[in-house]
Amino acid sequence: MKKILLAVTILSVIGCSVVTVLSEKPEVEVVGVSLKNMSFSGGTIEVECNIKNPNKNSIKLDSIGYKMSINENPIATGSMNDGVKLDGLEEKTVSIPIEFSYKDVANGISSILKKQKLNYDLSGSAKVGMFTIPFSKKGELESKKR
């Protein structure tokens, strides 16, 4: 009987500690989207996401999946699987390079080459342990390199 009581107590403590590790849902916010570079075949868009750990314990961002469109033309779908560790109450900015080719944006090539207004639509989710945190942002691309 003592062994059963001890086992139940240990499992209860372990179960409670797992729940308290992530008592609050981490936050993901897209803070910047910019055209980083362009070549004859395509370019790179840099997306900056601010990730905030509101918990006292450290967490690991397992992955970030995304979909991106420019001028309503899908250009990229992918994921970043570089595990990012955040200590308790820490906030980090993670840069995600999204490469695209002009063939992927056939209808928007002329506006990209002419460097006219480039509207983007970005959506995705970040996976942190048992949490999936959605994010989305729409706006106009800023060029870091012209």
Rounded (5°) CA angle 32-37-40: 145
Question: How high is the pLDDT of residue 124?
Answer: 94
Facing residues of 143 across strands?
A: 35
Question: How high is the pLDDT of residue 75?
Answer: 87
Q: What is the mean pLDDT of residues 44-73?
A: 90
Domains of the chain, by residue range, sit at 24-143
Question: How high is the pLDDT of residue 2?
Answer: 54
Q: pLDDT tier at 46 (50, 70, 90 boundaries)?
A: very high
The pTM assigned to this predicted structure is 0.72
* Res. 85: pLDDT tops 60: yes
| DSSP annotation of 57 | S
Closest CA to 135 of 4, 15, 33, 27: 27
Question: How high is the pLDDT of residue 146?
Answer: 45
Question: How high is the pLDDT of residue 129?
Answer: 81
Question: How high is the pLDDT of residue 108?
Answer: 60
Topology (CATH level 3) of domain 24-143: Immunoglobulin-like (2.60.40)
Question: How high is the pLDDT of residue 35?
Answer: 86
d(CA 84, CA 100): 24
Most confident stretch, 3-7, 31-35, 99-103: 31-35
Question: How high is the pLDDT of residue 144?
Answer: 59
